Structure 1
Amino acid sequence: MARSLQTLPKAHLHLHFTGSMRHTTLLELAREQGLHLPDALEQDWPPRLRATDERGWFRFQRLYDIARSVLTRTEHVYRLLRETAEDEAAAGSRWLEIQVDPSGYAQRFGGLTATLELVLDAAGQAARSAGVGVAVVVAANRTRHPLDANTLARLATQYAGQGVVGFGLSNDERRAQARDFERAFRIAKRADLLAVPHGGELLGPRSVAQCVDDLGADRVGHGVRAAEDPWLMQRLADRQICCEICPTSNVGLGVAESDADVPLRRLFDAGVPIALGSDDPLLFGARLLRQYELARDVHGLSDAEVAELARQSIRSSAAPESTRKELLEEIDDWLVSPE
């Protein structure tokens, strides 16, 4: 028998706020409020998605927006983060960086600042309850004007060191160039926030390179398409720029045809740092532990290699140095434990 992946300490660096919700919680909150959910979020869950064309991405976003609509009260935010932290602990995740765009909730929770403060307070309570470190990445939206991103970057900097550790850029990368958001990332960088934009998911290697060149990315959300360019992979490896690879999401959105087609092994063997993530388990049906199971069972990574994946997730995180040291030592202990 192999070692338990559940007991392997790890960090989770690619998880979206709404998408982290439990499916059972979505159903319960919708029923409590008399909200109708489409079949794709109810009896046909998880939905069949394919977002490599614009119509498919629109459907994905529509389902995401419907899920967001059930979070209407502050207690819903506290519940979501408490349950998410519990799910992280169950998967062996010891550090979580959860990504949120406050503008998606600002109208119902009193504005951008009030929304972010609510999320930070709920994250702190969830962390203490579950025994998992929880930090926040403020994310701008590629489909909105870059001036909105500047506003969010300034907001994020006000809470640097108070729970906010990074600044991201999400949504359909085909809708805007990375360089359009360069100013927002400069604002965030001045406050020592990690730059963690999405790239290399729906577009190819050039999208990853633009995140690095134009936005100074410390990590790239997804970045899986970097595997198509050996030179780019070498560059990421040399600079130790982490790719947040989300295998289940890649298959769910049609970026890869099957689990085996996700180029995880190619990126790993090229020396590209990898942090496995679940992206949006609410829509893809699998949480962090499943990503590690795929790495071992489908991509053939040994226990030593899977342990190195966990190390890379921790080294690429914003966890305090003392936490990193402790978790890295625990990974070494896991690796010498009996199978």
Structure 2
Amino acid sequence: MSTVNPAFVEIVQRMPKADLHCHLDGSLRPSTLLELSAERGLTLPVSTAAALGEWMRVDDARNLEDYLARFDVTLAVMQDAASLERVAHEFVLDAALDGVRYIEARFCPALSVRAGLSLDDVMQAVLRGLARGEKETGTLARVIVCALRSVPWPHAMEMAELAVAYKGKGVVAFDLAGGELGNPASAHALAFDYARAHDLAVTVHAGEGDGPNSIRDALHRCAADRIGHGTRLREDPSLEAYVIDHRIPLEVCPTSNVQTRVVPTFADHPLARYVVMGAVVTINTDNRLMSGLSLTDEYVRCAQHLNFDIDTLAMLAITSFDSAFLPHVERETLRENIAIEIGDLLANAEDIAVTV
């Protein structure tokens, strides 16, 4: 593993980036989680924000399902409108401080109705918080509505209908998340049909908790426009070629994949392979709290463990804007401006080498 010149880290932090795979309920500030838990009389095993941040980072998961169990803690405080708005607002503020100019916040609204909120209440609170953050920082924030693989029908259809109802009002896509093994995306195909019939973009978590057949299911049964993770795509050369040839973006989250045991170490991650082969790949955080990182951290780790130089990271940053679920003209304008800004940043940068 390489050590990193501090100037390199500074350049990466200043580099405009997009985070296309980031869960709202996995990205709370530890201080906010501590405060909201105290307000609700919820007992946590630690009493300081720093200690809570350490405790919430999932380093001991045996699989994806173990990793997902930590969400019970964050969801417990995301059951009223004020808390949801606050979490969404801070979600954008923290992204902006990290050089993120566009972020897609994904979450399952059905998980925040336990205390009596309606699905509309949940959506409106989150959208208010994101809009406040966008107004204050200039970082664009949109929503991807998730359904959960393990929840029986008609849950997925209800989430698809909700996503369509808020299309053009902040929602840009429909997703399927949750425990992947034994819960095929095709079981929810009618929900994806509904989303696509209403011209809403689709992304699917696949190739994380299950193998390449899960990715095939997402692509060919659910018509996914992007694939969340796609880590195990390399196990099927034919499907890998299909994804590359059809320019289907992969929302790659390397640190999370190490935590969920999809790959043994960061250095073993197939991200480098996908880049060399010409796949459309983006680097994302997945869950900033559970993974204990920022998007800058994830980029820097790619330099340390995968030997990506600054030009490769810049290319991947621009690709992330290319893959955003935004209207074409808006996306192209944003991408062009970002490319110019990154070019200027690198032209003026000095001492940005990764040194061993």
Question: Normalising by the residue count of structure 2, what TM-score does the alignment of the two structures yield?
Answer: 0.89
Give the counterpart letter for 1:336 in structure 2: A
Give 5+ residue unaligned stretches, structure 1.
none
TM-aligned CA deviation for residue 45 of structure 1:
4.3
Check if 1:69 corresponds to 2:76: yes
Check if 1:326 corresponds to 2:343: no
Give the counterpart letter for 2:123 in structure 1: L
Map of 1:243 onto structure 2:
250
TM-aligned CA deviation for residue 32 of structure 1:
2.8
Map of 1:91 onto structure 2:
98
1:335 & 1:195 partners in 2: Cα distance?
34
Cα gap change, 1:31/1:107 in structure 2, threshold over 3 Å: closer, same or farther?
A: closer
- Within a 5 Å distance, the mapping from 1:91-240 to structure 2 comes to 91-108=98-115, 110-240=117-247
Instruction: Report Cα offsets for 1:61-96 as digits up to 9, x if no partner.
Output: 332112210224322122212221111112111000
State which of 309, 327, 334 in structure 2 corresponds to 1:302.
309
Measured on the aligned residues, the alpha-carbon RMSD in Å equals 1.9
Preserved contact between residue 17 and residue 317 of structure 2 (Cα < 8 Å): yes
Preserved contact between residue 88 and residue 127 of structure 2 (Cα < 8 Å): no
Instruction: Report Cα offsets for 1:33-59 as digits up to 9, x if no partner.
Output: 22112469576442333242xxx72x4
State which of 270, 281, 288 in structure 2 corresponds to 1:281.
288
TM-aligned CA deviation for residue 139 of structure 1:
0.5
Counterpart of 1:215 in 2: which secondary structure?
Answer: coil
Give the counterpart letter for 1:331 in structure 2: I
Map of 2:347 onto structure 1:
336
Give the counterpart letter for 1:295 in structure 2: C
Give the counterpart letter for 1:238 in structure 2: D
Instruction: Report Cα offsets for 1:4-36 as digits up to 9, x if no partner.
Output: 101111110101111010122212221232211
Cα gap change, 1:161/1:271 in structure 2, threshold over 3 Å: closer, same or farther?
A: same
Map of 1:78 onto structure 2:
85
Cα gap change, 1:43/1:208 in structure 2, threshold over 3 Å: closer, same or farther?
A: closer
Check if 1:48 corresponds to 2:48: no
1:113 & 1:34 partners in 2: Cα distance?
26
Check if 1:252 corresponds to 2:271: no
2:324 & 2:73 partners in 1: Cα distance?
31
Preserved contact between residue 226 and residue 250 of structure 2 (Cα < 8 Å): yes
Give the counterpart letter for 1:311 in structure 2: I
Give the counterpart letter for 1:333 in structure 2: D
1:29 & 1:152 partners in 2: Cα distance?
26
Counterpart of 1:65 in 2: which secondary structure?
Answer: helix
Preserved contact between residue 288 and residue 294 of structure 2 (Cα < 8 Å): yes
2:68 & 2:200 partners in 1: Cα distance?
27
**Number of residue pairs aligned between Structure 1 and Structure 2:** 335
Tell me whether 241-250 or 21-30 shows the greater mean CA deviation. 21-30
Cα gap change, 1:255/1:184 in structure 2, threshold over 3 Å: closer, same or farther?
A: same
2:69 & 2:307 partners in 1: Cα distance?
36
Check if 1:269 corresponds to 2:280: no
2:196 & 2:336 partners in 1: Cα distance?
25
Cα gap change, 1:69/1:176 in structure 2, threshold over 3 Å: closer, same or farther?
A: same
Preserved contact between residue 18 and residue 67 of structure 1 (Cα < 8 Å): yes
Percent identical across equivalent pairs? 32
1:42 & 1:281 partners in 2: Cα distance?
10
Give the counterpart letter for 1:90 in structure 2: L
Give the counterpart letter for 2:106 in structure 1: Q
2:18 & 2:300 partners in 1: Cα distance?
15
Counterpart of 1:98 in 2: which secondary structure?
Answer: strand
Preserved contact between residue 94 and residue 132 of structure 1 (Cα < 8 Å): yes
Question: Normalising by the residue count of structure 1, what TM-score does the alignment of the two structures yield?
Answer: 0.93
Preserved contact between residue 146 and residue 184 of structure 1 (Cα < 8 Å): no
Cα gap change, 1:73/1:168 in structure 2, threshold over 3 Å: closer, same or farther?
A: same
